[in-house]
Amino acid sequence: MWWGGRGQSFNIAPQKEEPEMGSVQENRMPEPRSRQPSSCLASRCLPGSPSSPVDGSGISEYDFALVNIGRLEAVSGLSRVQLLRPGSLHKFIPEEILIHGRDFRLLRVGFEAGGLEPQAFQVTMAIVQARAQSNQAQQYSGITLSKAGQGSGSRKPPIPLMETAEDWETERKKQAARGWRVSTVNERFDVATSLPRYFWVPNRILDSEVRRAFGHFHQGRGPRLSWHHPGGSDLLRCGGFYTASDPNKEDIRAVELMLQAGHSDVVLVDTMDELPSLADVQLAHLRLRALCLPDSSVAEDKWLSALEGTRWLDYVRACLRKASDISVLVTSRVRSVILQERGDRDLNGLLSSLVQLLSAPEARTLFGFQSLVQREWVAAGHPFLTRLGGTGASEEAPVFLLFLDCVWQLLQQFPADFEFSEFFLLALHDSVRVPDTLTFLRNTPWERGKQSGQLNSYTQVYTPGYSQPPAGNSFNLQLSVWDWDLRYSNAQILQFQNPGYDPEHCPDSWLPRPQPSFMVPGPPSSVWLFSRGALTPLNQLCPWRDSPSLLAVSSRWLPRPAISSESLADQEWGLPSHWGACPLPPGLLLPGYLGPQIRLWRRCYLRGRPEVQMGLSAPTISGLQDELSHLQELLRKWTPRISPEDHSKKRDPHTILNPTEIAGILKGRAEGDLG
């Protein structure tokens, strides 16, 4: 039996025996190779994936999570191809199975002729069945890897999982959000199961008010702080107003106070406006996947319009544009900007993360980005399981993958501003469907907590004396997707670093308009609705008083202003004469979102294709960096012993340091990556 990609197959050492992993067996593909470890030949099938499989990591590149299997095909001979579905009869004994991953990978499993036919048949059947079962099984049993304990030890600064009040408090302090506090009102998930246990609310709002106010939002997702801009602005997110409710005056006041967050200038952003619906995202992703299949029938000269036809890049640019607009709003003056989406679990997370990436240099570090994802997606209750199709429900929509694509675009456009590399994004992209940690396998923080055992006192929820969950042991050991050493070798993890990262670009000393962080609450002097790329004045924040709210009733029908030449930024940042040599506040990135600037993430989507190669800029920089450290090392070594026999050691300097050698190193590196 051989494993190969597109006709290129070469041997690597036989895989190790599968470690005993108990329940893992039913969630991962039954490994056919474990039956005949000695006879199996394997080859890489993933041109462009970060690096070759490395011994010691739990999951190799040939492992496909069952959920990840997008399409199964049995091939016999050159022309016989059969799509394998559960229950379908095998028309022939397959010589080869093609497994098309939903993460754009392609795995080719070939069965060598000679004595293996029955096995080929069995294995194929087993895969089909296991896949069918996994589709039915809505819940995963908790997976405890045998390496669980040792994994967490090596984490340098652990990514805060935002499951304890301390995490939230630390993060709050880091952001210097002085007007805010950590609310424990949802500690028992009784305000909303989709909300995290803790979140930030304005200082002066009491927990009881929070509870009441949150009741008037869709699924209890009231306004919470997402990010505090060092200049004073606050970025908030909340669900849609629950229009059927009939709040009393105090409730309305509480809601308004929370939205206003002490600012006189309030901008309500309709997140869903101009962005794709969930169904759109799903459809685009399906189309993109079809287009990027290696056997896609699109002619080369029609490729571009086919790509356009998927609309995926359109959605990417819509997200970037909106995020860029919002970051201007947040940066330009001190105000409260509220992202409002009906469910508050999809696009709000996408936009608030993008805005932070654009305006906060800290979020562009490896650590910052992981905490960002953990906070705005995982803890904020993005329904990963549903969106990634894990439950088989109809609401599948890879919003998170759309987000990753947006981040990749930023990475492309600002290669010196991100500490993490494309490989990191790729690793994250691929981890989404790997069922070894709970991070992406649950819909809500509540479910996740239940699973990892921190809620074994769930029955005590209403016990008055209950204050702290039995924290500590159980969930400190819990693994998250950020434990990269579970799946990746150290060499691979090293590649997560962007060698071109040049953080000098963004001095964090910059503050736009240093202002007291909190102001006397009063009625906001200006309330805006940001929609269709423009600000429209609103009479009131909430829809319940007096007249129906603009947002609730008509916002989606507001015509986009056809002609408006006044630029908000012009007014915000003064006239062109004030724009010095550096017209943008340092640290703020404004991405390009023109047609020619939005690119296809080739290394991710075209992985199944044999011809995809690496771009060369990143490896060359890293090659140079290696050379640099090599030189420095050399210099250090030389310094002590060089003084006396300096000239006796007659070595031509060129043999050590001539460009040829650098070339060799560069080339070797590039090739290593290319291979």
Partner 1 sequence: MLGKGVVGGGGGTKAPKPSFVSYVRPEEIHTNEKEVTEKEVTLHLLPGEQLLCEASTVLKYVQEDSCQHGVYGRLVCTDFKIAFLGDDESALDNDETQFKNKVIGENDITLHCVDQIYGVFDEKKKTLFGQLKKYPEKLIIHCKDLRVFQFCLRYTKEEEVKRIVSGIIHHTQAPKLLKRLFLFSYATAAQNNTVTDPKNHTVMFDTLKDWCWELERTKGNMKYKAVSVNEGYKVCESSVKLKDAVFAHCYVLSVTRWLASKRSSINRRQKEKPHLYLEGDLRQFGLPAYFVVPTPLPEENVQRFQGHGIPIWCWSCHNGSALLKMSALPKEQDDGILQIQKSFLDGIYKTIHRPPYEIVKTEDLSSNFLSLQEIQTAYSKFKQLFLIDNSTEFWDTDIKWFSLLESSSWLDIIRRCLKKAIEITECMEAQNMNVLLLEENASDLCCLISSLVQLMMDPHCRTRIGFQSLIQKEWVMGGHCFLDRCNHLRQNDKEEVPVFLLFLDCVWQLVHQHPPAFEFTETYLTVLSDSLYIPIFSTFFFNSPHQKDTNMGREGQDTQSKPLNLLTVWDWSVQFEPKAQTLLKNPLYVEKPKLDKGQRKGMRFKHQRQLSLPLTQSKSSPKRGFFREETDHLIKNLLGKRISKLINSSDELQDNFREFYDSWHSKSTDYHGLLLPHIEGPEIKVWAQRYLRWIPEAQILGGGQVATLSKLLEMMEEVQSLQEKIDERHHSQQAPQAEAPCLLRNSARLSSLFPFALLQRHSSKPVLPTSGWKALGDEDDLAKREDEFVDLGDV
Strand pairing of 199-202 and 180-183?
antiparallel
The DSSP code for 199 is E
Q: Which of 318, 310, 322 is nearest to 284 (CA)?
A: 310
Least gap, CB of 334 to partner 1 (angstroms): 8
Assigned token pair, 376: 């705005």
Strand ranges (DSSP E) for 198-351?
199-202, 224-228, 234-238, 265-270, 336-340
Residue with Cβ nearer partner 1 (252 or 329): 329
- Asked if residue 449 lies in contact with residue 435, where contact means CB atoms within 8 angstroms, the answer is no
Annotate 355-399 with three-state secondary structure: HHHHHCHHHHCHHHHHHHHHHHHHHCCCCHHHHCCCCCCCCCCCH
Distance from C-alpha of 79 to C-alpha of 488, rounded to nearest angstrom: 38
Minimum CB–partner distance for residue 579 and partner 1 (Å)? 6
Comparison of 196 and 500: residue with beta carbon closer to partner 1 = 500
Residue 136 Cβ, how far from partner 1 at the closest point, in Å? Answer: 37
Give the distance from CA 98 to its chain's centroid: 28
Residue number, 151 or 591, with CB nearest to partner 1: 591
Task: Please identify, using beta-carbon distances, which residue of 111 and 601 lies nearer to partner 1.
Answer: 601
Closest approach of partner 1 to the CB of residue 113, in Å: 24
DSSP per position, 67-130: GGEEEEEEEETTTEEEE--TTPPP-S--SEEEEEETTS-EEEEE--SSS-HHHHHHHHHHHHHH
| C-alpha distance from residue 161 to each of 177, 316, 344, 362, 374 (Å) | 19, 28, 20, 17, 6
Q: Is 327 exposed, middle or buried (0-12, 13-18, 19+ CB in 10 A)?
A: buried
Specify the residue, 88 or 539, whose C-beta has the smaller distance to partner 1.
539
Q: Which is nearer to partner 1, 56 or 615 (CB)?
A: 615
Q: Report whether 106 contacts 608 (CB < 8 A).
A: yes
CA distance 612 to 602: 7
Q: Smaller CB distance to partner 1: residue 149 or 586?
A: 586
Q: Give me the least distance between CB of 101 and partner 1, in Å please.
A: 19
**Tokens representing residue 667 in the block:** 């080339």
Indicate the residue among 325 and 436 with the shorter CB distance to partner 1: 325
User: Cβ 658 to partner 1, closest distance in Å?
Assistant: 8
CA–CA dist 474, 477 (Å, integer): 6
Q: How far apart are CA 390 and CA 136, in angstroms?
A: 9
Residue 235 C-beta: closest distance to partner 1, Å: 16
- Cβ proximity to partner 1: between 11 and 154 the closer is 11
| Neighbouring C-alpha atoms within 13 Å toward the C-beta of 521 | 15
With respect to partner 1, which residue has the nearer C-beta, 158 or 309?
Answer: 309
Angle between helices 278-292 and 303-310 (to 10 degrees): 150
Residue 674 beta carbon to partner 1: minimum distance, rounded to whole angstroms: 5
What is the Rg, in whole angstroms, of the alpha carbon atoms belonging to the chain? Answer: 27
For residue 606, the minimal CB distance to partner 1 (Å) is 7
Nearest distance from residue 516's CB to partner 1, in Å? 5
Can you tell me whether residue 352 is helix, strand or coil? helix
> To the nearest whole angstrom, how small is the minimum distance from the Cβ of residue 142 to partner 1?
41
**Closer to partner 1 by Cβ: residue 466 or 579:** 579
Looking up tokens 């640290």 gives 587
Task: Say if CB 511 and CB 592 are below 8 A apart.
Answer: no
Could you give the angle at the alpha carbon of 317 between the alpha carbons of 578 and 223, nearest 5°? 80
In the complex with partner 1, the residue whose CB is nearer, 182 or 334, is: 334
Q: Which is nearer to partner 1, 304 or 553 (CB)?
A: 304
- Measured from the CB of residue 295, what is the shortest distance to partner 1 in angstroms? 13
Per-residue b/e over 35-56, b at no fewer than 16 CB within 10 Å? eeeeebbbbbbbbbbbbebeee
- State phi, psi for 238 to the nearest 5 degrees: -160, 165
Q: Give me the least distance between CB of 394 and partner 1, in Å please.
A: 30
- Is the CB of 83 or the CB of 642 nearer to partner 1? 642
Report the nearest approach of partner 1 to the CB of residue 360 (Å).
15
